Amino acid sequence: MLIVGRVSSEAKGVRGEPFAAGQRYFRAVARAGGVPLMLPPIPALAAEVPALMHRVDAVVLHGGGDVDPRLYGQEAAADELYGIVPEHDEVELAVVRAAIDADRPTLAICRGMQVLNVALGGTLVQHIGTESHWMRFTQLRLEPGSLVAEAMGTDTPEQCHCVHHQALDRVADGLRVVGWHDDSLVHACQLDGAKWVVATQWHPEDSAAEDPTQQALFDTLLRHT
């Protein structure tokens, strides 16, 4: 299962600057029975992504900094924008487009959902504030019968960990909104017509080790490979 890494300055026991990704994603994939593989965010590799996609079974697009607003037709309009890294944007956009073209099962988490929306032509709200959606567990509403609800076994997951200051604005063609917070912000989508492409604005990996409903998203992803 493919996971795109991050340029990072935080690592021990390695020589030179590292690439990295959070262990919780890898461990959630491993618990589901998959083998996680990290693709470093090297732009020169973007051209190789379509061929690589035929050698992996599924994709996890994970959290991180903000997508450059210019990639969805806007200029930076919020002082709170952070963590914009061109290498991350270029490689992840290549990965999501190749995954869709190859019909690879995909779980897009937080920034991953935003990358998915931008890749398909959607836009983002650059800053929503952090009062209700930053480092908080919250209850959400899911569309009954949606891929997310079926995977989690509930229409009202109670403990979804949110760590985001942005949200989907114009939803891209083909994406269907299937989950909401009480304030109506989009918190889950699925790509209709694909084998299994699901996006969550919250971080299921944060509590998946203790919460079977969150781990079930990774388990279901693997079952569709």
**177, containing H or E segment:** strand 175-180
User: Which pair of structure tokens corresponds to residue 89?
Assistant: 């944007």
What residues contact residue 62 under an 8 Å CB cut-off, 6+ apart?
3, 4, 21, 22, 25, 109, 110, 111, 112, 205
User: 101: helix, coil or strand?
Assistant: helix
Q: Please name which of 35, 36, 63 lies closest in space to residue 200, comparing C-alpha atoms.
A: 63
- Give the amino acid at 78: A
Are 5 and 15 a contacting pair, CB within 8 Å? no
Annotated active-site residue 54? The verdict is no
Active-site pick, 87, 90, 92, 205: 205
Annotated active-site residue 160? The verdict is no
Are 223 and 37 a contacting pair, CB within 8 Å? no
Active-site pick, 88, 110, 161, 165: 110
Active-site pick, 62, 165, 203, 224: 203
Annotated active-site residue 224? The verdict is no
Q: What residues are labeled active site?
A: 110, 203, 205
